[in-house]
């Protein structure tokens, strides 16, 4: 849950401050629904709780900056998930070189299922995919050697 008494701010794409607490109701609802899952995912990659939390906050600030475009996209949940993944990747390696720990899509799903503990329908909700596709990709992920999670 968010603390509505402490506004979270950051810079939007135009360089203007984005105040998350002043965002539309749809954004607030999306954030409250996905924040705990995003944070659980980030904690897999960033063992310091504060770093994981800041990564998720950075992702939500980036999402807030493009919220109208995300809402107009064919799959807003998938677009938001990509923003989170990009933010995680950037923070893992701020120099822009592909991080050796960066997860593939199958590994992301396996992390969400086996490490974070989400059921297939919950994963589908988080990443913006259908449940059957997620189940198939999880089976595929099991056949491969997982990287260090």
Q: Express each pLDDT in 72-116 by its tens digit.
A: 999 999 999 999 999 999 999 766 555 555 568 888 999 999 999
Asked if 124 and 134 touch (Cβ cutoff 8 Å), the reply is: yes
- Smallest Cα–Cα separation from 63: which of 38, 37, 92, 31? 31
Highest mean pLDDT range out of 9-13, 91-95, 124-128?
A: 124-128
Average pLDDT over all residues of the chain: 83
Write down the pTM of the prediction: 0.79
Q: What is the pLDDT of residues 13-39, one digit of tens each?
A: 444 446 776 789 999 999 999 999 999
- Smallest Cα–Cα separation from 32: which of 1, 56, 3? 1
CA dihedral 105, 39, 54, 18 (to 10 degrees): 90
Strand partners, 11: 17
Query: What stretches of 14-149 show up as alpha helix (H) in DSSP?
Result: 25-45, 49-65, 67-72, 76-92, 105-110, 120-127, 131-143
Split at pLDDT 50, 70, 90, the class of 56 is very high
Distance CA 65, CA 14 (A): 8
């Amino acid at each position: 849950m968010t603390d509505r008494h402490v506004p979270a701010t950051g810079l939007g794409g135009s360089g203007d401050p984005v105040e998350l607490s002043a965002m539309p109701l749809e954004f607030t609802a999306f954030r409250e629904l996905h924040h705990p899952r995003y944070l659980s995912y980030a904690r897999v990659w960033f063992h310091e709780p504060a770093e994981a939390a800041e990564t998720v906050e950075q992702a939500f600030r980036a999402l807030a900056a493009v919220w109208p475009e995300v809402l107009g996209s064919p799959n807003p949940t998938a677009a938001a998930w990509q923003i989170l993944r990009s933010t995680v990747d950037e923070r893992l390696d701020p120099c822009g070189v592909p991080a050796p720990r960066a997860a593939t899509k199958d590994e992301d799903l396996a992390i969400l299922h086996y490490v974070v503990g989400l059921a297939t329908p919950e994963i589908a909700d988080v990443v913006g995919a259908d449940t059957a596709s997620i189940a198939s990709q999880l089976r595929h992920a099991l056949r491969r050697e997982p990287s260090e999670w």
